[in-house]
Structure 1
């Protein structure tokens, strides 16, 4: 693709107005949200939507999430909402929840990859809301990174992947949550959670009165047939091979046999041999801290030039859906290329 000059903008009103003008003219803008940075374009413009896929090198079968900031804008994106969808929207929007809804006629096949449902989110980040409102457009915005790579939690991460491929990025500082939104289909019984995030199944069930189940793709299932963003087998991955360990004993056993060029994602309390490259991740019992730091830590280790990265896999804890989301991201990141 032809290189573009990518402007790094602050989050002032003037910069937001400049970014909104870029979007209205069909351009691409990286924007902060409370989850990760998104790559925004006019969701109603097929040419602009195609530019997202080109910049990210994203396959056309992978649908996009559309971001809105008002009820009239939502009506331009979704044709209808079930009672469960309305209850979830009233409770969790603005916030880190994506609902799969019947798409309106204005949302084209390129956004949904030909599917009848469109992923819709009303973010809570003030810069994202200001940008969507200033543009006056629903914005298609997948994560602002190369396809399959580590999601960006800072403007610098966006530029590391997409500098010269997009028109601008709004710098709103590090993201708050650090993992992508929960994605679910409120039209099914039970409700289907396609991507786990900060909104838990327990909360979904409490609000709707309908049970919720987490979707598990079959190992042989082709990615083209997956029903939602974020459910691909290998995703969120550093370029350096990632190996997961389940205990300190396993970690030390691997390190004893490891080559010199090894990087370690280290939670507090794990012992490491002297000389190993490592990044401090966070307190092991603080799931929110681990989630917030994960992508930045993986990116830092990815730049160390090591042969592989070692990371502990958080233990499963019933009722801690954010921890389940953290495990999901790590397990997908550790899948072999081509999976």
Structure 2
């Protein structure tokens, strides 16, 4: 719930008090204490949903009320589709009480100050109130598709639930709460939980289901990972991994993801390695793609080398690579060359 006064400076001649908009839940209220016969005033920005909004008044022959989102990247890329009720009424201190003007608006796309302009009787002056109650705010996905409400309680509760689960898992890992398995690496020991490891990897699950040494000793020996790399693997499993740690240890994580059958992590590593292919690492990446059956990475490396002609810059490296590469990989590279260089 969004409540309290809006912040920021008003525009168009409004005083500090006159420009404030009070908000509670989905309702915004702007109290105008002094408005002359011919004037313009704009409110301070106020937040409802994911957008900052403005109200403005312009008065000459008619009084014009405008409601529009603050110009920014969000309102440009994903403008709101709004259902709202707007009301203009005399304030309690006004000497001339009259029935309020009420206007209901459905599915109005609001991008600029020209998208909602409401002309009303120009005899309003002195003190009055503008109320806006947003019945719904919809937003269109960036990749297209039907607009959907931003106020789906199911999505909000899911987000809260996910955040709480991650906090709990973070505590379990960081504080070793009721840890029941030890991971032994080349650089030290780490504590973890059999249930969490089993849920993330069928290989770990198999260790604890069958009468293997890991089940009997409650210890997993991982000799091919450093302490830091293994700690990063656990942080991925528990949902607490930092981007810089992933980047630093992604080759070790790729090997672990392949060894322990953690498909999502393996895909993340492949996508990351594909992003920064260069002449300095393309042959190494090609070998890793072949070793771990990463077809997307393999295709990317071959395209970099052959389609883009970078193979000419690596003549000496290619000779060394061919002396040690798998025979089937060499055949595939030759076939790729023949495909690209096939005469028209």
Q: Choose 1 or 2 for highest CA Rg.
A: 2
Q: RCO (CA 8 Å, sep 6+): is it higher in 1 or 2? A: 1
What is the TM-score when the length of structure 2 is the normalising length?
Answer: 0.22
Identify the structure with the greater strand proportion: 2
- TM-score normalised according to structure 1 size: 0.22
